[in-house]
Amino acid sequence: MQKKLLVAKFGGTSLTSEKNRIIAADHCVSLLEETEKLVVVVSAMGRSGDPYATDTLLGLVSKESSIHEKDRLMVCGEVISALVMASTLRDKGIQAEALTGWEAGICTDGVSGDASIVSIDVSRIKKTLSANSVVVIAGFQGLSPSGYLNTLGRGGTDTSAVVLGVALEASEVLLYKTVDSIYTADPVKVPNAQELSVISAEDLRQMAWQGAKVVHPRAAEAALASNMILKVRSFNSGKVVTLVETKPLENSRYIVGVAAGNTVAGFSVTGSSTPSSFFAGLFRVIADNGISMDMFSVFDCSTSFTVPVESTDKVQQLLGLMELDYTIVSPCVKVSIIGAGMHGLQGVMARFCEALHRVKVNALQTVDSHATISALVLLNQRDKALQELHREFIE
């Protein structure tokens, strides 16, 4: 009887040196003891400053280069990584072959720099697997409907791995990480962060969208939608450190973690027309200029929202052209508590605000959903806010 198919993903820090690539290959050898066929998905080797890392490659071209050109350049890092990993496996005596993302049949929606996978033709992968024990696939990439190479956004190799696992009907998807676990918070910012041996895919998705960087949110969404078994393994030990459950967990804490997003600028804008025309006109102009907005609050003829800090000057320019009055608070960051179990519970917002007040952190703006409560705070108060929220809801 044929054994199960596994998909394993290795990130850039796991492949940055020959020593680490040999460790990764050894993990593959161990996996082949429990599965007949293995698909390995890889990121570009290393981080900024390393020769083939994504940021290093981007540094080779001017900022004026088109997003299409940048996509074509960025895919090279993963392609190099896949070819080198396949060679390392062959040095271990394992039959292995490398495929680019487009050779693997990955098709995207065509959004340059942040594409989503819409379909995968697995025929070539299966054909390659029939002649090899391992197929190594370059993550983070695919082919658009118009034939352009696309990248999937930061952390997109996680998404590649999970979606490939679903398409290939794999038994499990294993994400090898250089961290010891998924934590209740970033241990660098919150020293008392706790390891999570198990987490629901929904909570993981929410944590990722709010800034936790262990697993890409689209990977969590894909696992949730398909009931794919997803496990995070320690790159150092090879052991499973966090199991991602696609079903809600029983008897779990109602707040599973705290997280902070990227640096943003907070805008408060006032108009003089009717509310509907003011909001429609303002938001359309910002959207048409490709600027991402978050933390919307609207009331009468005024609104508050955040944009990435690097978009501040452009938004100011647009608001000036529209002759709108505005104020800015920057640099800021969104801090959040996350947990689907908080839905319907009384007093959570009160405790959230009281925790920030205790450490003299001002909540400049708040938003909430069924699984998150977030506040906009000054960047220099971020860690203090995270630590107190963690103390209140986790510790």
Give dist(CA 233, CA 235) in Å, integer: 6
Q: Are residues 267 and 363 in the same domain?
A: yes
- Could you report the per-residue pLDDT of 271-291, keeping only the tens digit for each? 877 777 888 889 999 999 989
Task: List beta partners, residue 240.
Answer: 233
pLDDT score, position 215: 84
Please check whether residue 224 lies inside any domain of the structure: no
What is the distance between the alpha carbons of residues 112 and 70, in angstroms, rounded to a whole number?
Answer: 9
Does residue 31 fall inside a structural domain?
yes
Confidence class for position 252, pLDDT limits 50, 70, 90: low
CB 210 within 8 A of CB 334: yes
Give the containing element (helix H, strand E) for 23.
Answer: helix 18-31
Nearest Cα to 112, choosing from 76, 146, 161? 146
Report the alpha-carbon distance of residue 85 to residue 94 in Å, rounded. 11
- At residue 6, the 3 state secondary structure works out as strand
For the stretch 257-269, pLDDT in tens is 999 999 999 999 9
Looking at the 3D structure of the chain, how many domains does it have?
A: 2
321 CB neighbour count, 10 Å cutoff:
9
| Domain identity same for 18 and 154 | yes
Q: Is residue 205 part of a domain?
A: no
Q: Are residues 139 and 263 in the same domain?
A: no
Query: Is residue 157 domain-shared with residue 263, that is, in the same domain?
Result: no
CATH code: domain of residue 265: 3.30.2130.10
Answer whether residue 320 is part of any domain.
yes
Partner residues linked to 329 by β-bridges:
266
In this structure, the answer to whether residues 156 and 61 fall within a common structural domain is yes
Q: Which of 129, 149, 178 is the last residue of a domain?
A: 178
Same domain, yes or no: 271 and 161 = no
- pLDDT at position 250 over 70: no
Tell me: do 130 and 267 sit in the same domain.
no
Domain boundary among 162, 178, 194: 178
In this structure, are 163 and 271 located in the same domain?
no
Q: Is residue 36 in a domain?
A: yes
Alpha-carbon distances of 154 from 139, 180, 296, 302, 323, rounded to whole Å: 11, 21, 24, 33, 35
pTM comes to 0.87
CB atoms within 10 A of CB 357: 12
Among the three residues 120, 151, 178, which one is the final residue of a domain in this structure? 178
- How sure is the predictor about 1, in pLDDT bands with cuts at 50, 70 and 90? very low
Q: Which of 199, 165, 166, 202 is nearest to 184 (CA)?
A: 199
User: Per the domain annotation, does 248 fall within a domain?
Assistant: no
3 state SS of 108: strand
Q: Can you read off the two tokens belonging to residue 197?
A: 């041996």
Domain around 163: 5-178
Classify residue 269: in a domain, yes or no: yes
Q: Provide the CATH number for the domain around residue 15.
A: 3.40.1160.10
Q: Are residues 168 and 308 in the same domain?
A: no
Same-domain check for residues 41 and 156? yes
Give yes or no: residues 23 and 172 share one domain. yes
In a domain, 203, yes or no: no
